[in-house]
């Protein structure tokens, strides 16, 4: 996920087991902070996508959950709709038109 030239985010992953960590990297200082909210549940092999300058989304990774992170304050909410299937190794994309 990225916030339109402001920051990049790395969410989830695996250290032998799935994690809930979300790290934020501020551009251009390259400083890192770890968001206190994190993911709603642990996941690995998920996908991320963003609504440029508004919010980033972390999806799948072994479940149907989609978490939304508002870029203005890094708060997290979980979408009620979620994914249609419990997935891992998925790809994320966006319509930037």
pLDDT digits (tens, 9 = 90+) for 15-57: 888 899 999 999 989 999 999 999 999 999 999 999 988 999 9
What is the rounded CA–CA span in Å between residue 97 and residue 84? Answer: 25
Domain that holds residue 68: 2-78
Mean pLDDT of the chain: 91
Q: Is residue 64 part of a domain?
A: yes
Number of domains in the chain: 1
User: What residue spans of the chain are helical by DSSP H?
Assistant: none
By residue count, the chain amounts to 97
Q: Is residue 63 part of a domain?
A: yes
Q: Is residue 42 part of a domain?
A: yes
Q: Is residue 83 part of a domain?
A: no
Q: Are 56 and 35 in contact (CB under 8 A)?
A: no
Token output for 12: 């989830």
In this prediction the pTM is 0.90
Q: Is residue 68 part of a domain?
A: yes
Q: Is residue 85 part of a domain?
A: no
Q: Is residue 95 part of a domain?
A: no
How many other CB atoms are there within 10 angstroms of residue 72's CB atom?
10
Q: Is residue 20 part of a domain?
A: yes
Say yes or no to pLDDT of 77 above 90. Answer: yes
């Amino acid at each position: 996920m990225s916030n339109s030239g402001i920051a990049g985010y790395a969410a989830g992953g695996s250290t032998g087991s799935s994690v809930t960590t979300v790290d934020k990297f501020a551009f251009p200082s390259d400083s890192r902070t770890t968001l206190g909210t994190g993911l709603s549940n642990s996941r690995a092999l998920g996908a991320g996508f963003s609504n440029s300058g508004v919010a980033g989304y972390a999806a799948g990774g072994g479940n149907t959950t989609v978490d939304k992170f508002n870029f203005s304050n890094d708060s997290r909410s979980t979408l009620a709709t979620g994914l249609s299937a419990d997935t891992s190794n998925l790809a994320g994309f966006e319509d930037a038109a």
